[in-house]
Chains A and B, each alone.
Chain A
């Protein structure tokens, strides 16, 4: 019922949205090097060259980007694959127009030098906007029964000792912990990609409805964004300048050192483990793996397929 109501609202808002030429693009997090490619595409005029008018608008820390997409505040958003599956399963058909991540970046960092796999029933921080699906699956599968504590952002709660462990992105929170003076080791850090959960993350999604009416713009947007990422990979320092400009503008409390580390890691994650290339494609096997995992753990009502997400 709830989902149907949302769908109707979105449909109604969509009508007004379609009328405008501008594409509002909302990355799923506050401004940082994770979205360098899009800033570059905008700053370097790749969108303009493609005849597009693109505006990048970030969500607030507690507002999921998806809710902006649903409400028509934006036309394109980045989502992790698992989130996308959830949304599609929730009845909002989405189209993946560009897949940037080829690897999973999520880790669990455990406090007090403990192995996360031995922390049964531990209190583990998770993003309130929902990036932690795989972790929940893993917790269930490995009978760890973690007590998930949704939090807005950051690592402060973990640092002050309010949590036993926390989920972290290898390009973001992981480095924040390093910056906070945490000593990281293979023992205290659990990397999902190394334990059979290497599921792609960031991709650019549009509602299928919007996509059907704006195929051309969508493709141009995807192509220009990809170009932005490729340029970023070739000019990381210049890209970093652009990122820092954005970060300053958005008053994000971060620094160049952190953003450089993040960019390096994000670019590393974009290289496919097998082909060793930046493929910019959704892998059907990963979609299948994620969908099955989530369905098995009752996070999806049905197995959402690759075809449903693809153009």
Chain B
């Protein structure tokens, strides 16, 4: 069923055809139904008149002979009455009756007991056809006391001539029975006293044949019942005389049959529709003259309507076949008409799959399908054109992108990207990072050292993208050019601003922060041109604040504007954190800004955790801003630069020590000795020396135990540098990548036994050392531990 429904849903032609045929079927059925109903009525009426005619005809025929019997009997009675005393004449009369009426069965002239004294108790002159001859005998005897018989008594009791109920007449000489019905008439003497009965019988056989002779329909039949309902004519001979019309209703009540029986008994004429032996039939009935019998013609309905039904079936059949043909042709025609749609659908699929040059079929039609086809072809052509254009555009875009890519590379190349930038210069460490929002950005930072002075700048060009990047390039070039001969930041900015503002028809400007640091003294001069004030982070005081700045105007807005510079001395270890508004105005998905508070808090956290370095500062800030922004798209270029000033200590020159040990903890005593040597070189006090020993030993043992797979041999190299009050240890190995700093912070509130293995070591190390950092360089793990000891 589901399959069928799915099929109908798939096939428009079948669905359409079915609807059409369904409506046609309804209309045909309605009109044909009406016709059939009318025709059936006509056939019905015809059947009634036909059956009635036959009944009338049969009844007339029967009545004709009955009349003859009646007349002949009356004649005989008249004769007997003339000679009532001549017993032997009665034989002549009875014989004469049969001679004159060969179709009569028998004739009795019977008398009351002892009517003829000389004849005794019984005297009945009885004649009967016996083949071609007529047998005449005296019929009464002890065995046949006729005066008790119905035929004798009926007319006597009713005192009028009458027809008896049919009965089996027994003929003793031939020992045979014949079913007869008799017309009886009393014989009266001159005084009017009843002396006997004339009985003339008709064989029911003959009557039965006459009645059954005419059949209105092939399967119709006639029945005849007597006054007592007894069947005398019936196609089932077993019922004749043995059953009445009511017999079967005794076992199985049948009100219709009972009603028919009563109607026939009452001598009514009519028609009834009923089931006879399970067959729907029409029964037409009519009394038979004065006999008291009633005859009926039973016509099975299937007979009456057989011709009609045949015609009906043919018509229905033609209609069914017609509808089926109609369905077939409709499906064919609609399918053919709709075939272009299928092809169009296929072509559309082909085009959809990317073959835009597929040949569209030309149906040469001007109907809706033709229009659709043309529209489709137009669409295809448009599509091809569009795709071509798109290809060009895409190619152009790719070219632009490629150029942009190059531009980005050029732009990025302009920025210092090697850190530490000045490995030989201990006085300053710098870390910077620029992440453009687009391929190219308008942010810039730069620094270089000239004449023992660090020149640095950070800027943000108005707008984004290529225009901003061009201005950025110009600005950076100007910064380099101007600062090459100019030391004061305010003058650098003023010149730069003047240069930019010349021919600045686009109205582009740049916020800029330019500074210089005297590496020997830590004196910083700076000028701010509308840029965000940098953060001033003191390592020793562990404080974070904003560098006090004059906001001034952004550069390039107003030619001739004199920018005001500022100055300050910075302490050893102080970090200047410069940034563009891409940091503090970074937005998360709900457009909340990262803000100065978060920025300051992040810086505070970094400085509080100890080990303040520019790299760490920038990385912490990057992490914080990335965490805050989440999945939101970067809207602006993000640039950060941190500069840490380390005051030069005159006597302090860098000294280094190194040792390489196998991954065997039995060599730890050698390590202890090595650390003692370093401690001594750095003039550390005993307690710090001991702590240092503990931390380094912990880190080295860690490497020995975990860096190499068990059973393999490896080495661990420890390099120590002492410079500017900073003691650094670089522990390197070639084992598997292993970051001990990534270990979870240990829960020191737990007892030693409860704590998981590991973790405690790194915790101890962090406690002792100021800075712990890990990096994987090539195939080496490098763990850097630093300790400020002055």
Contact = CB atoms under 8 A, between A and B. Distances in A.
Do the two shown chains form a genuine complex with each other?
yes
Give the most central of B177, B245, B247: most A CB within 10 Å.
B247
A83 B19 CA distance: 89
A43 to B, nearest CB: 21
B148 A62 contact: yes
Nearest to A155: B228
A213 to B, nearest CB: 27
Chain A residues touching B, majority SS: loop
Contacts of A67: 142
A179 B242 contact: no
A160 B247 contact: no
A156 B168 CA distance: 13
Contacts of A62: 142-145, 148-149
A63 B142 contact: yes
B250 interface: yes
Interface stretch (B69-77, B157-165, B523-531): B157-165
A170 to B, nearest CB: 15
Interface in B218-248: 226-230, 239, 241-248
A104 to B, nearest CB: 23
Q: How large is the interface on A (under 10, 10 to 19, 20 to 34, 35 or more residues)?
A: 20 to 34
Interface residues of B, number: 38
A254 B242 contact: yes
Nearest to B159: A162
A8 B165 CA distance: 42
A161 B248 CA distance: 24
Contacts of A254: 242
A255 B247 contact: yes
B265 interface: yes
Nearest to A254: B242
Nearest to A253: B241
B150 interface: yes
Interface in B149-190: 149-150, 153-154, 157-158, 162, 164-165, 167-168, 177
B153 A159 contact: no
Chain B residues touching A, majority SS: mixed
A52 interface: no
Interface string A96-126: 0000000000000000000000000001000
B441 interface: no
Given A62-B145, A157-B150, A160-B292, A181 B242 contact: no
A251 B177 CA distance: 9
B262 to A, nearest CB: 6
Contacts of B226: 156
Interface in A108-158: 123, 128, 149-152, 154-157
Contact of B168 (A149, A162, A251): A251
A176 B247 CA distance: 9
B251 A150 contact: no
Given A162-B153, A254-B242, A156 B228 contact: yes
B60 to A, nearest CB: 24
B157 A60 contact: no
B261 interface: yes
A12 interface: no
Interface string A42-86: 000000000000000000101100010000000000000000000
Contact of A257 (B164, B167, B250): B250
A257 to B, nearest CB: 5
Given A160-B154, A178-B250, A255 B142 contact: no
A311 to B, nearest CB: 31
A163 interface: yes
Contacts of A193: none
A132 B244 CA distance: 27
B258 interface: yes
A126 to B, nearest CB: 10
Interface string A238-264: 000000000000010111011001000
Closest 8 pairs (CB-CB, A-B):
A180-B228, A162-B157, A62-B145, A128-B148, A253-B241, A152-B148, A159-B228, A156-B165
Given A156-B150, A156-B228, 14 more contacts: A128-B148, A151-B148, A152-B150, A155-B228, A157-B157, A159-B165, A159-B227, A178-B246, A179-B228, A179-B229, A180-B228, A181-B265, A251-B168, A257-B251
Interface of B: 142-145, 148-150, 153-154, 157-158, 162, 164-165, 167-168, 177, 226-230, 239, 241-248, 250-251, 258, 261-262, 265, 292
Interface of A: 60, 62-63, 67, 123, 128, 149-152, 154-157, 159-163, 176, 178-181, 251, 253-255, 257-258, 261
